[in-house]
Structure 1
Amino acid sequence: MHLLSCEGITKRYGGVTAVDGVSLSVEEYETLGIIGSNGAGKTTLFNILTGFDRPDSGTVTLRLNERELQVQGFGAFTFAHMGVGRTFQNLRLFEEMTVYENIRTAILSMKRTEIAAEELLKLLGLTEQAEMPVNKLPYGTRKKAELARALVCTCGVKKGCRLLFLDEPAAGLTTAEAYELALLLLRLKKQYGLTMVLIEHNMAFLEDLCSTLCAMDEGKIIAAGKPQEVFSAAVVRSAIFGE
């Protein structure tokens, strides 16, 4: 059953078509990966699917409590209150604040949440760093702090859709850190019944996590299917891997 779907999404910036007629669907409890070269339109699509931008045309449909809602005109704050959380390609944390304070900002903005900051700190192995300013922490730990804040929206809304978007979660991580993050996400998915959509360039990371992949090039989806099917498609190997 589709938790999220979009149909004919197009977004232009001046004379540039960043997303060109994209249609896709995400099943409940699925982990969908989106791949593509820089400038392929991945983050623009992410922004539209999470309420940070609006399409010029097309629809976005979210299923919430057995109701299908067209949400392409909704803002990010409304998406968060429906149980949609996300992280960003460039971290958006309050750098001078502690890890705990960053998580609390999300909890306070939600006004009511079913998940506690202490629970998230423990789940993500951040208890010892809770009172440390974010700007004093290693990059991998800061990424975990942003993930914890996103989970406030994803897991903290009663009867929310538990949909988590991750924009390049493994970027900047060592191989060991990326593997640890993959295991953490699998554990969170099982514990909270998450549906996940992620953009990523680390193909091994995607293979560990994703049941389905979509490949984008020049704003369009050029292939979709199981990871190995997409990786081996001639059009993908040419457009993304330069073969």
Structure 2
Amino acid sequence: MGKGVESKEAKQMLEQQSSSDSNRDSENGGQPGDRAPSSSRKCAIWKRPAVLWTIIVALVVIIVALAAVLGVSQTGGPLNSLENRTKEQIIRGSKSSRDPTDLHSRLKQFMCESSPNKPAEGPGCKLCPQDWRLHRDQCYWVSKDKSLWNKSRNDCSRRDSRLLAIRDQAEMAFIQTITKDTPQMWLDLTFTSSSVHLVWMDGSVVNRTLFKAVHLPKENNNCGVLKADEISFENCSAVSKWICVKESFPI
């Protein structure tokens, strides 16, 4: 009888002990029988520094990229040619001065060649289109091909210019220097048997004293050509080189 009572009391004590262990596990957030809460806490501790290091590395990369971009924009990149520096000087000067005369002066210095006899600020600063030659106030274009007189004249008109008509001795000397290797060039001149005076196509009279000789034709439908320092005439259906003339652009 005494042994039965003791075994019953021991059983009750074991049940109470088991119940208290279960309550402690519930308070710690685990399930009964869990024995590895410490390993979970260790994982959580190691995860936090890894995340922090990832954020730090990302910030460093962003800062380096921003520094590189700002550095390029401030230095202007590799474009440091002479032309760009010259343009920057003109722009800088135009910003510092609102006077149109000052800007005009800077453009002259940039576009015009200066020399002791022809300063860039002087009145002789003129511009011509590409492949045209400047002489005083006019631009001259010399053809490389040969063509009919009327087609040559039309070509000059298309270039907003006129066929060559020599007006004075200085122009005559200049034409001889640029045509010394050319046998003949068309002139803006025609002749008919009814002509009383030699006149250019614009109606002005030809100054015969500029030429060594003027050889008048015996037939109609003849167009003027320059041969060295003489005026001669060829059939207008012949072909020859030609010169176009137009006013230069002053700056």
Alignment TM class, shorter chain as reference: under 0.3
Structure with bigger strand share is 1
Could you say which structure has the greater relative contact order, defined with CA pairs below 8 angstroms and 6 or more residues apart?
Answer: 1
State the TM-score, normalized to the length of structure 2.
0.22
More helix by share: 2
- TM-score, normalization by structure 1: 0.22
